[in-house]
Amino acid sequence: MVHRSTTDRIVDYLITALLILVGVTALLPLVNTLAISLSDKAAVSGGMVGLWPVGFNLDAYGFILRDDKFWQAFGVSVLRVLLGGVLNFVLAVMTAFPLSRSTRAFPARDLFMWFFVFGMILNVGIVPWYLTVSSYGLLDTIWALVLPGAVPIWSVIILMNFFRSIPKELDEAARIDGATPWQLLWSIYLPTSLPALATITLFSIVGHWNSFFDGLILMNNPNNYPLQTYIQQLVIADRPALHGGQAALMAQLSNNTLNAAKLFVAMIPILLVYPFLQRYFVRGIMLGAVKE
Amino acid sequence: MFKDSERLAYYVMILPGLALLIAFTFVPLAYSVIAFQKFNPALGVQGSPWVGLDNILYMFSLRDARQVFFNTVFIATMKMIVVLVAAVAFALLLNEVRFLRIRRSIQTMVYLPHFLSWVILAGILRTILARDGLVNDFLGVFGIGPIYFLGQPNIFPWVIIFSDVWKEFGFEAIVYLAALTSIDPTLYEVAELDGANRAQKMRYISIPGIAPVIVLVACLSIGNVLNAGFDQIFNLYSPIVYSTGDIIDTYVYRIGLIQGQYSLGTAVGLFKTLVALILIGVSYWTAGKFANYRIF
């Protein structure tokens, strides 16, 4: 180890301090929201709440607990995460496995591969997309939220690259014993791909939990909105669409405390999986870069 | 060795995914023919009259459309540049932090916004950027403002650009941090023996070490020049800032789905799809040429 001078140390501390400041600043907006949600309404409308609650109370959270509409939307979101997550998982595995095989085993592989990649980069406009989903009769059903994105092509590519990196010897031994492709997938590839599977599952969970736009255009009845769409309508959109009475709506829109609490509750599921997200997403980015 | 039954199994496996891909990507592509019709939902695709290139020509004649195109390219390009610079600077500085636990904590703090939806972040931004919000309170200490960040056309695009930096810079830094860790540590040791100081090591070892990754990211960004961030702008804009904040995706949503001009909305969307395909082609070509990149 080369001797380090005092100036070097001082620079070390300065850089560290600067980055801690950057990190803390990145979180300040979230802290402010949390503080508002825990504060007294009057203090909030007076613009007095900064990073610490003023007139601490849990009224807003109590109100949310009793708010049926909120929990209905929460339920739609949970359902889409579960259903969409399972669909994404099964389809990603079943699509990635054939694409990871050699062209001798699966001659049409490259053709399919280009087809899927083309499907990924082809971003058809929102209007024909809406007309298509609507023509299938999916509007106002949970299927509208999970079927259109059921094949997560980016996850397919990650998984395919991962499958290809698994040593061929395992595979060949099992095939000599007469294993079918389904058995290979089930007993060799899936158990050895757990980190990649965790990554793509987290991609799905976050993606489904966070999307609002499909809910907005594919659900005509606000009772079918997932949570993000519900919040988007309540906190952001100016169009009055929910909660019947105009007066009730205005009172609600002006209620910053309650809105902040709703934003925070909608964040909780992400915060709960955040430790895993950090670990597996970082790895996932690298997995995507793994080449044969 | 490779039996037909094995090949059949692969076809069976890939079939459901293929069917869904066709149903939700290629069928909508076929539906795009309504860009060349005067589409009427009651008549359907078969019954609606064909108008040739009328919708496309009309689109080019709209002054709105030109402004929207410019806004999209401007916001998307500035986002890429500023996020890239912020991410590289952050990665280089974080690489200098020797205390591993502090390093991890900083990463934990800056990655978080990446995982939150724009609905949530826009809700938060609307609060902190309000007249009596956190940011104006802070600026007030220095006697600045109050500034109405979301209601002034000249400021709005920069709010979009910098709030995107807030959400993404930490996460974008991951690839640069990975590249920095893979630099051979003996290079630094030799440089130290030669008396190189910290700035010189950064200039002559770290930056050249991550340059290929920077080039790669820049090349791949070309494909996103028309994606200025629908979710973000949709949740932050308002009619007051349409002049500088309206982008292709929000414009298509409004004319196509809200005003019900299906054919015009589809025409604009189709134009975007075509240009985007060309750009993605260019981006992969440059990434392959300058950074040896292949997707699989």
Nearest chain A Cα distance for residue B245, angstroms: 16
With CB atoms and an 8 Å threshold, state whether B273 touches A123. Answer: yes
Pick the closest to residue B127 from A257, A64, A24, A267 (CA basis): A257
Give the amino acid at A226. Answer: P
Tokens of B237: 């804009």
Neighboring chain B residues of A260 at a CB cutoff of 8 Å: 123, 127
DSSP letter (8 states) at residue B256: I
Nearest chain B Cα distance for residue A12, angstroms: 7
Report the residue from B6, B20, B192 with minimal CB separation from A151.
B20
Average pLDDT over every residue of B195-217: 90
Tokens of B175: 């690839």
ipTM above 0.95, yes or no: no
Task: Note whether A199 and A283 are within 8 A (CB).
Answer: yes
Split at pLDDT 50, 70, 90, the class of A190 is very high
Report the residue from A32, A50, A106 with minimal CB separation from B7.
A106
Listed in sequence order, the DSSP H helices in B116-206 are 118-128, 134-141, 156-181, 185-193, 198-201
Neighboring chain A residues of B32 at a CB cutoff of 8 Å: 124-125, 128
What pLDDT sits at residue B59?
87
What pLDDT sits at residue A136?
95
Question: Best mutation site among B24, B164, B224, B237 for testing chain A: the one with the most A CBs within 10 Å?
Answer: B24
Tokens of A208: 């489904």
What pLDDT sits at residue A288?
53
Task: Give the mean pLDDT of chain B.
Answer: 91
Q: Is residue A23 part of a domain?
A: yes
Tokens of A36: 């508002």
Q: Is residue A210 part of a domain?
A: yes
Q: Which residues contact B291 (CB under 8 A, 6 or more apart)?
A: B212, B213, B215, B216, B219
Residue A81 has pLDDT above 50, yes or no: yes
With CB atoms and an 8 Å threshold, state whether B112 touches A235. Answer: no
Q: Are residues A38 and A148 in the same domain?
A: no
Task: Note whether A85 and A71 are within 8 A (CB).
Answer: no
With CB atoms and an 8 Å threshold, state whether A127 touches B13. Answer: no
What pLDDT sits at residue B145?
75
What whole-number distance in Å separates Cα of residue B48 and Cα of residue B291?
A: 48
Task: Note whether A281 and A273 are within 8 A (CB).
Answer: no
Split at pLDDT 50, 70, 90, the class of A173 is confident
Q: Which residues contact B294 (CB under 8 A, 6 or more apart)?
A: A291, B288
Pick the closest to residue A288 from A190, A150, A280, A149 (CA basis): A280
Domain-ending residue, one of A33, A57, A81: A57
* Tens-place pLDDT, residues B222-275: 888 999 999 999 999 999 999 999 999 999 999 999 998 999 999 999 999 999
Q: Is residue A292 part of a domain?
A: no
* Tens-place pLDDT, residues A59-68: 889 888 998 9
Q: Are residues A98 and A215 in the same domain?
A: yes
- For chain A, the distance separating the N- and C-terminal CA atoms, rounded to the nearest angstrom, is 38
The domain in which residue A18 lies consists of 6-57
Average pLDDT over every residue of A144-159: 93
What pLDDT sits at residue A179?
86
Pick the closest to residue A53 from A260, A280, A267, A199 (CA basis): A260
Of A91-95, B144-148, B186-190, B245-249, the one with minimum mean pLDDT is: B144-148
What pLDDT sits at residue B4?
81
Q: Are residues A99 and A15 in the same domain?
A: no
Q: Is residue A227 part of a domain?
A: yes
Task: Give the mean pLDDT of chain A.
Answer: 86
Residue A242 has pLDDT above 50, yes or no: no
Q: Are residues A52 and A115 in the same domain?
A: no
Q: Which of residues 71 through 90 in chain A touch B, CB cutoff 8 A?
A: none
Residue A292 has pLDDT above 50, yes or no: no
Average pLDDT over every residue of B177-193: 90
Q: Is residue A217 part of a domain?
A: yes
Q: Are residues A151 and A202 in the same domain?
A: yes
Nearest chain B Cα distance for residue A245, angstroms: 23
CATH architecture of B62-291: Orthogonal Bundle (1.10)
Residues paired with residue B50 on neighbouring β-strands, in sequence order: B37
Give the amino acid at A166. Answer: I
What pLDDT sits at residue A182?
92
Neighboring chain A residues of B108 at a CB cutoff of 8 Å: 278
Give the amino acid at A153. Answer: I
Q: Which residues contact B34 (CB under 8 A, 6 or more apart)?
A: A127, A128, A131, B45, B48, B262, B263, B266
* Tens-place pLDDT, residues A90-128: 999 999 999 999 888 898 899 999 999 989 888 888 999
Tokens of B45: 């695709």
pLDDT above 90 covers a percentage of chain A that reads 54
Neighboring chain A residues of B189 at a CB cutoff of 8 Å: 2
- CA A182 to each of CA A117, A216, B11: distance values in angstroms, whole numbers, following the listed order: 24, 39, 12
Q: Are residues A43 and A80 in the same domain?
A: no
The ranges assigned to domains in chain B are: 62-291
DSSP letter (8 states) at residue B259: S
Nearest chain B Cα distance for residue A110, angstroms: 11
Nearest chain B Cα distance for residue A161, angstroms: 7
The Cβ of residue A246 has, within 10 Å, a number of other Cβ atoms equal to 9
Q: Locate tokens 């709030």: which residue?
A: B163
What whole-number distance in Å separates Cα of residue A92 and Cα of residue B4?
A: 24
Question: Best mutation site among B36, B39, B116 for testing chain A: the one with the most A CBs within 10 Å?
Answer: B116
Q: Are residues A121 and A235 in the same domain?
A: yes
* Tens-place pLDDT, residues A10-61: 888 999 999 999 999 999 999 999 999 998 888 887 777 888 888 888 888 9
With CB atoms and an 8 Å threshold, state whether A232 touches B235. Answer: yes
Q: Is residue A1 part of a domain?
A: no
Q: Are residues A21 and A88 in the same domain?
A: no
Q: Of residues A48 and B71, which shows the higher confidence score?
A: B71
Q: Locate tokens 């020049």: which residue?
A: B225
Task: Note whether A179 and A128 are within 8 A (CB).
Answer: no
Q: Are residues A267 and A124 in the same domain?
A: yes
Neighboring chain B residues of A36 at a CB cutoff of 8 Å: 127
Split at pLDDT 50, 70, 90, the class of A252 is very low
CA angle A90, A93, A98 (to 5 degrees): 130
Task: Note whether A239 and A233 are within 8 A (CB).
Answer: yes
Task: Note whether A236 and B123 are within 8 A (CB).
Answer: yes
What pLDDT sits at residue B254?
93
Pick the closest to residue A114 from A99, A129, A94 (CA basis): A99
Task: Note whether A200 and A284 are within 8 A (CB).
Answer: yes
- CA B52 to each of CA A25, B198, B252, B267: distance values in angstroms, whole numbers, following the listed order: 54, 64, 20, 11
Report the 3 state secondary structure along B207-255: HHHHHHHHHHHHHHHHHHCCCCCHHHHHHHCCHHHHHHHCCHHHHHHHH
Give pTM, 2 decimals: 0.90
With CB atoms and an 8 Å threshold, state whether B113 touches A130. Answer: no
Tokens of A47: 């613009």
With CB atoms and an 8 Å threshold, state whether B256 touches A127. Answer: yes
What whole-number distance in Å separates Cα of residue A12 and Cα of residue B97?
A: 7
Tokens of A28: 């300040």
Q: Are residues A17 and A143 in the same domain?
A: no
What pLDDT sits at residue A238?
54
Q: Are residues A101 and A172 in the same domain?
A: yes
- Domains: count for chain A: 2
Report the residue from A2, A29, A129 with minimal CB separation from B124.
A29
Task: Note whether B178 and A286 are within 8 A (CB).
Answer: yes
Q: Are residues A42 and A108 in the same domain?
A: no
What pLDDT sits at residue B168?
94
Neighboring chain A residues of B92 at a CB cutoff of 8 Å: none
